[in-house]
Amino acid sequence: METDDAPCLTTVENLPENDSFLFTVRERDGSEEEVVLVHGDDCITAWKNFCQHETDQRLDRGFGAAMRDGDIICPKHGSMFDGCSGHCDNGKAAGSTLVPVDVTVDDGAVYLTDRTCEFAHEGGIEEDDEDDMPSSSSHLSF
């Protein structure tokens, strides 16, 4: 895959084994999706940031995905997904596979090369702080 016009996410040096990097992509329909880039056993891969058993359960909650021996661990269910294949063979998510996002490693740099989305920003999806509630605990207005 050509990396000339692909955004550089990070470097292999900055992503130690059994570590992760969270970023957000914009899908073709305009929606945003979190992606977790992981350095598993002898691979660097990227996956949509949700457990296959319960899609509102994030694998990386904003402070790194829990990983052990190249596996990504669901913080809620304990299911373990192979960091290289995305496949889970235990727990409530057994038999499922994480949703991949294409990345390419070239000359020590990791690039987003998935044609179905575009890089939005590092980190997770920004939560909307506006919830129609007052900004303080007081409901009085002057």
Residues 6+ positions from 104 with CB-CB distance below 8 Å: 1, 3, 6, 110, 111, 113
* Sheet containing 19-27, strands listed edge to edge, beginning at the edge strand earlier in sequence: 100-101, 43-48, 32-40, 19-27, 117-122
User: Comparing 26-40, 66-80, 119-133, which segment has the lowest mean pLDDT?
Assistant: 119-133
pLDDT tens column, 12-26: 999 988 899 999 999
What is the rounded average pLDDT of the residues 57-61?
93
Q: Which residue has the tokens 């992509």?
A: 25
In three-state secondary structure terms, 109 is strand
For the chain, what percent of residues have pLDDT higher than 70? 87
pTM of this prediction?
A: 0.85
Predicted confidence band at 42 (pLDDT cuts at 50, 70, 90)? confident
The two structure tokens encoding residue 21:
């990097």
Residue 61 above 70 pLDDT?
yes
